[in-house]
Structure 1
Amino acid sequence: MPKKRAFSAEGIQQKKDDYHGSCRYVRTRPDIKAQNIKSVNLELSFDEAMQLSLSIQAGLLALNRYNRSKKDGREMGLCLSVKTEANTISVLETKVKLEAK
């Protein structure tokens, strides 16, 4: 006799199968919002997506070494630099100063 579950997934809202998360960014340079560009879509092959994922993970591991209890450590973040002429995305460790809300 199969054991009954203590909970049921029935009625629980789920995200779409192709949604894997998102995050907010501080700014774009140049300011594409000022140019009335509302969305930029980047298409990646599986291999390139894996490479980007590994690059971001490596960057996060490096950021994790900073002392986040200090101002300098809290200001560190990642910059995803998109080069349109070469169709490349670089992951760079840099200081990211948050803008006032």
Structure 2
Amino acid sequence: MTDRDAELRGLASELREHDAVADAFLAKSFTDQLLVLDLQQDGAVPSDIVESLRDHDLVGANEVYGEDGSDVSFAGTVGETARHQFVDVRTRGDHQSYVVE
């Protein structure tokens, strides 16, 4: 595990303690690492969480990938939670994608 992985896993663990967060975990999307947040409430990500994510070079996936929409991170709903995805822009493009030919 790299130092960056450990840093982001620690951040996800901290975020799970926030009242608005149902779950927080790391995932991969093609060549990018994501931090995924499942929020217990509808609406925007709380501003203190957004600030913490930006401090760790995590930016809303919709903003990074140029997707249309008013929310820079919303990815849909999962059961009773709202899912938001944030791209690790510090290591963007550094991860291997596994493609079977």
TM-score, normalised to structure 2's length? 0.29
Q: Return the index of the structure with the highest Cα Rg.
A: 1
Greater relative contact order, per chain length (Cα 8 Å cut-off, separation 6+): 2
TM-score, normalised to structure 1's length? 0.29
Larger fraction in strand: 2
Larger fraction in helix: 2
